[in-house]
Structure formats: C-alpha cells, structure tokens
Amino acid sequence: DMTLSPRVESLEPSKTMVISDLAATLVQSGVPVIRLAAGEPDFDTPKTIAEAGMNAIRDGFTRYTLNAGITELREAICNKLKEENGLSYAPDQILVSNGAKQSLLQAILAVCSPGDEVIIPAPYWVSYTEQAKLADATPVIIPTKISDNFLLDPKDLESKLTEKSRLLILCSPSNPTGSVYPKNLLEEIARIVAKHPRLLVLSDEIYEHIIYAPATHTSFASLPNMYERTLTINGFSKAFAMTGWRLGYLAGPKHFVAACSKLQGQLTSGASSIAQKAGVAALGLGKAGGETVAEMVKAYRERRDFLVKSLGAIQGVKISEPQGAFYLFIDFSAYYGSEAEGFGLISDSSSLALYFLEKFQVAMVPGDAFGDDTCIRISYATSLDVLRVAVEKITNALEPLR
C-alpha cells in the first residue's frame, strides 16, 4: 500500500526549490545558467564566525547541548534583542533551533488548533502557508498591492479577522518583496491586533540587518501592548551568510517558548553544538553585525540600485523599490498574453519564468509561488557582473514580446 498521509498529500513542494532544481539539472548537462532563484547570500561565512565553529570541533565541543541552546548563545541573543530591538527577554524566553524555518514551524504547531486561521499577507514566503496546513490550520491570504509597496492595508486586515484568527504572520524586511514596514504602519496594525484577544503575531525578522537607510527596522514585540502577543523569529542564515550552519531562534512569552521547546525536544533536540559556537561569534561582531555585515549590505544595496534602474527602464515593467532583503519582486504582467517564437504562449508567471530559463538561461522564481502571479522574484545575492549579464538577457527576452 503506497498511500501517503493526507498531511503530506496536501502539502505543496517548495516552488523555489523546483526552479533551483531545474536550473541545477541544466547546469549539470553543460548549459550555463544565471541563477537568480535561490534565497541565499553569495558571500562566504565571515572568517571569525567560521573559526569559532572550527575551534568548537577542535575543542571537542561536539556533544548534545541543552535542548533550548547553550546558555552562552541564549544570553548573547538576549543582549542583542535588548540593545538592537529594545526587547527584554530572559534566556528561558529564547529557543535556539536548526534554522528559522524550524522556529516558525514549531511556533505555528504550538499555538494553532485545528481550524484556526493563520493570516498571511501576500506576497508571502512560501513556507508560511504550508506550515499552517501542517498544523491543520487554515491559511487566510490578504493580497497587497505593488502600488502600496506590498504593505498590508490595515483596513484589509480588520475585515479578515474573525474569532478563529489565531496568528498573523508578518515578515519585514520581506521575502519576496524587500518591503520594510514603517513603524507607524506597524503601530496601526498593533492597534487592530489589540482588539482581538486570541490573535498572536508571528514576526519573522530574519532579514532585519539587510536594510537600506533611511529605512529602519522595528520589532513588532516592542510596540505598546504587543510584547505578550508576539513571537519573534530571527536567524543567522541571511545577515551572517550562514545558511548551511542551520541556526535560528524564537523569542517570546515564556509560556509559548516552553511549548515550542517541548516540541523541539521530541523533534530534533538542540541545534548543532558547532553552529551554536559560531552563532556566539556572529553576535560578537558588534551591533547589527558590525563592519562585516555592513560591507555585505553595501554590496546588496549597489546591486539593488543597479537592478531597479536598469530593469525599471524596460517598458511595461513595474517595480516597487525594495528597502531591505536581497530580492526584487517585479511585475511583468504587461507581457502576459504574448506568443514567444519557439516557446509558445506566455500566460502567467510560471510560463514567463520557464521562458526566461529555457530560452535565455536565467533562473528566477515565478510570483505564483508567493501568492502573486503578476510578478517574478529576482534574488540579487550575486555579483554585479552576473547581474549585468542577467539584465541584458532579460531585456533581450522581453524585446520580441512587445
């Protein structure tokens, strides 16, 4: 009997991975592909961080740690949250996991009952909806507009909330749009949340350091009356270029953190001892990652500026200038309905992304994967030289479609 559980059957495979896999297959067969699909920094993990991991191995720091994470790391996280985010947490309010993805899943599993609604503004990061489904909760999607910089309209939020609403997921800076929520908008959202006693906020702040001045980051938990209602997610993958180390964390009210910790105790136990030592070194780099992270952010900013200018000049292309993260979410829908010679009809984001990949060897993720079919996501975590070629190819690809 090959029957699979309904839980797995109803799950969508990660679409960001589908395009990445297809691109990898092309590369393997000798076709050079410009890969702008992955959500991963192109930088190596900074040396001091990597050294701390190697030292951990040399020193034999290679055993199981406390389920919640080593005290040294949790204390360093508490200091970071205090100094950078104005949030007071004790180490027993921090749970370290194997990546923010695990932190998110555990939080959703810990607070949602079957039938609860998880409110997710679109475009959204692909795993939110699927993780909600794993908890037998119902994702409730609220579309946003490119003309609003993809920011949630508080009126739309208010109109979607019911007594079943349990969790609102916010992601700022956002994957896939790069939007950053201004403080006054978060305050407006907080006032709405305050009117719904059952509603919690899951605030995914994993891109907080990758932000372009004058935009600034506000932690949702720091807003009036929101500390008790917010589960804050953060991690080391993006700012510190540590995707392969698998290290993320949750901070929140003790009651919820303990519940997540109980889950983790049965799922995976503590994160890698080696990665945790590296995490301590990462937080030791100084405020917001110090010069090391500032240099990477400077490079991302140059790339963003280049792309916004050069792609923005193409007829019919709509862009909302991202204020953070390393993605552009571009509206190419003016080109839908075109016939491409030797390819066929371009009718949506998937067919356009496939056309870019098959005919011009540029891999990007269709917006459909993020709940917005008008757009395609470009990850600019790659060199300016590569991006220059990419822009040329995208321009050439669109040219015959006009």
- Residues 373 and 23: their CA atoms lie apart, in Å, by 21
- Supply the minimum distance, in Å, between the C-beta of residue 243 and ligand PLP: 5
Nearest residue to the partner ligand PLP, using Cβ: 99
Interaction between residue 101 and ligand PLP (CB under 6 A): yes
Look-up of token digits 């009952």: 113
One character per residue 198-217, x = contact with ligand PLP (rule: CB under 6 A): ------x-x-----------
User: Which residue in 70, 76, 95, 171 binds ligand PLP (CB under 6 A)?
Assistant: 171
Q: What single letter denotes the amino acid at residue 261?
A: S
Size of residue set near ligand PLP by CB under 6 A: 13
Residue 177 DSSP one-character state: T
Q: Tell me which residues in 8-37 interact with ligand PLP (CB under 6 A).
A: none
- Supply the minimum distance, in Å, between the C-beta of residue 176 and ligand PLP: 8
- Supply the minimum distance, in Å, between the C-beta of residue 196 and ligand PLP: 24
Torsion of CA 308, 156, 153, 311, to 10 degrees: 10
- Residues 280 and 209: their CA atoms lie apart, in Å, by 17
Pick between residue 101 and residue 277 the one whose CB is nearest to ligand PLP. 101
CB 336 within 8 A of CB 350: no
Beta bridge partners, 376, equal 330, 366
Interaction between residue 277 and ligand PLP (CB under 6 A): no
Residue 359: Cβ-neighbour burial (10 angstroms; 0-12, 13-18, 19+): middle
- Residue 301: strand, helix, or coil: helix
Choices 60-68, 95-103, 368-376, 394-402 (CB under 6 A): range interacting with ligand PLP: 95-103
Pairing of strands 365-366, 338-340: unpaired
User: Which residue in 39, 41, 46, 367 binds ligand PLP (CB under 6 A)?
Assistant: 39
Look-up of token digits 């027993």: 92
- Supply the minimum distance, in Å, between the C-beta of residue 242 and ligand PLP: 8
Pick between residue 236 and residue 360 the one whose CB is nearest to ligand PLP. 236
Q: How many CB atoms lie within 10 A of CB 64?
A: 8
User: Which residue in 65, 93, 144, 237 binds ligand PLP (CB under 6 A)?
Assistant: 237
Q: Which residues bind ligand PLP (CB under 6 A)?
A: 39, 99-101, 125, 171, 175, 204, 206, 235, 237, 243, 248
